[in-house]
Amino acid sequence: MDLMNMLLASMTSSASTNSLSKKSGLSSKVIVYLLSLALPQLIKALTSNASTQNGAASLLNALTQHRSNDVISKQIEDADTADGTKIIGHILGNNQSNVLADLASQTGATTDQVSTVLSAIAPALLSGISAASTTAATQKKAGIDLSDGLDLSDILGMFSGAQTAQQQNVGVTGTSLLNILSGLMK
């Protein structure tokens, strides 16, 4: 399962949708539909933003600030929606009002309800991408290349990568981040 589907599955779990329902007043069914429409748009906007040097640097900075070991549903429940609103503003930029209106129109929700849901998931979205970036950087340093399928060298790299990640500070570049985001859109 790719990262996009993993994020969507986590964000549409019953625990996540119950929390989002309490925050927004929307039914779980509408939230699932809303997130299935919104996540691809958010990832596309993040990918577009990260395609410039400044955008990639800004996203890398945001990812370092949004790391959590909590499960997605817990992150959504505890979300700082004021921070989430800022995140959504940065991700969508000048298109924010159009995207919110479009999502509201497609789902039957109000723009305020859509904004509430997106603001609640935004920190968890960055946390999930941050975790994927760290994993990708660890795999790269460990010599793991899954583009040709999983083979013995990848398995050995995973074992040594786990040790390497514990011993070193694992970083990610703007280019590798763009590759991760692009992979989400496949």
Of 57-66, 73-82, 162-171, give the lowest mean pLDDT range: 162-171
Name the burial class of residue 1, with classes exposed (0-12), middle (13-18) and buried (19+) by CB atoms within 10 angstroms of its CB: exposed
CA distance 85 to 48: 19
Comparing 168 with 120, the larger pLDDT belongs to 120
CA distance 121 to 118: 5
pTM above 0.95, yes or no: no
Comparing 162 with 3, the larger pLDDT belongs to 3
In tens, the pLDDT along 5-55 reads 888 888 999 999 999 999 999 999 999 999 999 999 998 888 888 777 787
| Interhelix angle 81-92/96-107, nearest 10 degrees | 110
Q: DSSP letters along 23-75, please?
A: HH---HHHHHHHHHHHHHHHHHHHHHHTTSHHHHHHHHHHHHH----S-HHHH
In tens, the pLDDT along 121-174 reads 999 998 888 777 665 544 454 454 544 443 444 434 443 443 343 334 344 455
Give the DSSP H or E segment for 159: helix 152-167
What single-letter amino acid sits at 95?
A: N
Question: What is the chain's alpha carbon radius of gyration, rounded to the nearest angstrom?
Answer: 17
Nearest partner of 135 among 161, 156, 159, judged by Cα:
161
